[in-house]
Amino acid sequence: MKSFKTVCISFILLLTITSCSPKISCDSSDALDVIDMLIIDNVINNDYEFGFRFGEAVGLPLLTDEKYSGYLDGSIPIPTPEWKIDNIRVLANNKNTNSYSCAAELYYEWDDNIVNNLRLVKYISYRVDETTDGNVYISNFKGF
């Protein structure tokens, strides 16, 4: 029979190991950090570029030389929307592979000198998997 001290040390070690590994779920902070990066790269930038090109196509002078040079030298801040992910849902959970199929709503709004009070919602879906080294991997990010 193990001594009480050995059992306590084993328990503390187990808690330390499990608390350091990422939590794999649809709404874990590790998964949402990756989702935030994907939103910036695949949603926000694409929508802003699409809106910008549309504005130019209909004859709006959206990016004057003054504004462009202001973006480059930092005197004019580049507009950045605010967003939040809401109503996160688990569509499926595979316990054998520790993966989740997820869905959520992405709400974001823009408010700058060109676009005022633009509010959009996009319905996104994604899959959260655990890699062999215990990290979070996001795949099948859709809805943008």
- The SS3 of residue 14 is helix
**1 domain-assigned:** no
Determine the average pLDDT of the residues in 31-43: 84
Is the pLDDT assigned to residue 14 strictly greater than 50? no
Is the pLDDT assigned to residue 34 strictly greater than 70? yes
β-bridge mates for residue 130, sequence order? 136
**91 domain-assigned:** yes
**14 domain-assigned:** no
**66 domain-assigned:** yes
Whole-number pLDDT of residue 55: 62
Which of 102, 138, 137, 109 is CA-nearest to residue 123? 102
For residue 29, the one-letter residue type is S
Greater pLDDT, 68 or 6: 68
**51 domain-assigned:** yes
**62 domain-assigned:** yes
9 falls in which pLDDT band (50, 70, 90)?
very low
Determine the average pLDDT of the residues in 37-55: 70
Q: What is the CATH number of the domain that holds 76?
A: 3.10.450
User: What's the distance, Cα to Cα, between the start and end of the chain in Å?
Assistant: 58
Whole-structure pTM value: 0.65
Determine the average pLDDT of the residues in 32-47: 79
Distance CA(99)–CA(30), nearest Å, equals 14
The total number of structural domains that make up the chain:
1
Domain membership of residue 100 as a residue range: 26-142
**46 domain-assigned:** yes
19 falls in which pLDDT band (50, 70, 90)?
very low
Instruction: Report which DSSP code applies to 59.
Output: T
Greater pLDDT, 33 or 19: 33
**97 domain-assigned:** yes
Question: pLDDT tens digits for 92-136?
Answer: 999 888 899 999 999 888 766 656 677 788 899 999 998 888 889
Question: pLDDT tens digits for 58-94?
Answer: 666 666 667 667 777 878 776 677 889 999 999 999 9
